[in-house]
């Protein structure tokens, strides 16, 4: 069994801690907020995982040094906008022969780095392997042991296989490997934007046909970006591609879909974020997606539309009309 430090006690970090202790690993779950550590320690409940009993075998800590030192695996589970800050905070305590796992989904604005690239950038003198763990995985379901499939990705497949074995649970978590870490991370970050678009459509009451169209054409836009950046096209039809976009765009658990739905219902962005009450990762990846579109001279109408709505340049209903008014074309015209 492994000693595992998880940095970030949000819903996903906590769900993974529950899973890993159930497998038999020794888990330390770190939060930068002392009040969260106190609540988790004393009540074994999480405010955003109602009804879920958090394992009493998890050690909760506000000390990042003890959460990193001496661990076999370090999991970065913060929102993507905090990955650089958290990794830098933990940096002095990393040592050789550790494996870093990122479960955060996002692309950094400005640098256009995925979360694994951010971690490599911060830890460049440490030369540690970084694995991305991603797929159609809602924390609310993983936390209670519902059957789930996920992908362990690393350019060096041997590290993906090590993490596959660490996280595998015969009861509830089947783990596949993939050496296309770029494609896996792009899917994980960009599908959140498409989920917002689907939520907007649902909020307007446009039904199943529109939902299916947005998911399908949205996946095409994600694939365009991936191919332009050198990712493997097969990744986009796998668990981290179509699998993750379907679950994020259709589930009641999805905060990205919920945000889009509220915007479609006419709520302002500020009201929407207040009602969601948690980080909406799709909003954090929007600027980077637009930068990538410009960099590679792509046409991404759905992503463009979400961006225009968030920027207040158009409203949701007008945007649908604009999408339908686009020049007619062959479905298979790709780039």
Q: What is the CA radius of gyration of the chain?
A: 19
2 counts as catalytic:
no
Tens-digit pLDDT profile for residues 107-147: 999 999 999 999 999 999 899 999 999 999 999 999 999 99
- Average pLDDT value over all residues in the chain: 94
Catalytic position from the list 191, 258, 294, 313: 191
Shortest CA distance to 232 belongs to which of 151, 178, 295, 161? 178
Tens-digit pLDDT profile for residues 294-305: 999 999 999 999
Q: How far apart are CA 87 and CA 8, in angstroms?
A: 11
CA 194 to chain centre: 13
SS3 268: coil
State residue 93's pLDDT score.
Answer: 97
* Whether the Cβ atoms of residue 167 and residue 142 lie closer than 8 Å to each other: no
Q: Which domains does the chain have, with CATH numbers?
A: 3-179 (3.40.50.720), 185-324 (1.10.1040.10)
What is the enclosing helix (H) or strand (E) of 223?
A: helix 207-229
Confidence grade of residue 253 (pLDDT, cut at 50, 70, 90): confident
Q: How big is the chain, counted in residues?
A: 335
Tens-digit pLDDT profile for residues 144-181: 999 999 999 999 999 999 999 999 998 899 999 999 99
């Amino acid at each position: 069994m492994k000693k595992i430090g998880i940095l970030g006690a949000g819903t996903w970090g906590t769900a993974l801690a529950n899973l890993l202790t159930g497998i038999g690993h020794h888990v330390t779950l770190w939060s930068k907020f002392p009040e969260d550590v106190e609540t988790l320690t004393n009540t074994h409940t999480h405010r955003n995982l109602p009804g879920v009993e958090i394992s009493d075998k998890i050690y909760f800590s506000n000390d990042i040094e003890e959460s990193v030192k001496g661990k076999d695996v370090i999991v970065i589970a913060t929102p993507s906008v905090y990955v650089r800050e958290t990794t830098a905070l933990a940096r002095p305590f990393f040592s050789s022969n550790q494996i870093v796992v990122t479960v955060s989904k996002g692309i950094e604005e400005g640098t256009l780095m995925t979360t694994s690239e951010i971690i490599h950038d911060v830890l460049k003198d440490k030369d540690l392997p970084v694995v991305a763990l991603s797929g159609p995985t809602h924390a609310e379901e993983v936390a209670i042991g519902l059957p789930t499939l996920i992908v362990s990705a690393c350019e060096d497949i041997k590290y993906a296989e090590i993490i596959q074995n660490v996280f595998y649970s015969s009861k509830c978590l089947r783990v596949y490997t993939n050496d296309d870490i770029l494609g896996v991370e792009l899917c994980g970050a960009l599908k959140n934007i498409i989920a917002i678009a689907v939520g907007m459509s649902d909020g307007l009451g446009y039904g199943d046909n529109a939902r299916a169209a947005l998911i399908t054409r949205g996946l095409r836009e994600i694939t365009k970006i991936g191919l332009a950046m050198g990712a493997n096209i097969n990744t986009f039809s796998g668990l981290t591609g179509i699998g993750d976009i379907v679950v994020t765009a259709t589930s009641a658990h999805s905060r990205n879909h919920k945000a889009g739905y509220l915007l479609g219902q006419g709520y302002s962005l500020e009201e929407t974020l207040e009602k969601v009450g948690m980080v909406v990762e799709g909003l954090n990846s929007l600027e980077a997606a637009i930068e990538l579109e410009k960099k590679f001279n792509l046409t991404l109408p759905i992503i463009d539309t979400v961006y225009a709505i968030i920027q207040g340049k158009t409203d949701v209903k007008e945007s649908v009309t604009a999408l339908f008014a686009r020049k007619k074309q062959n479905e298979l015209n790709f780039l």
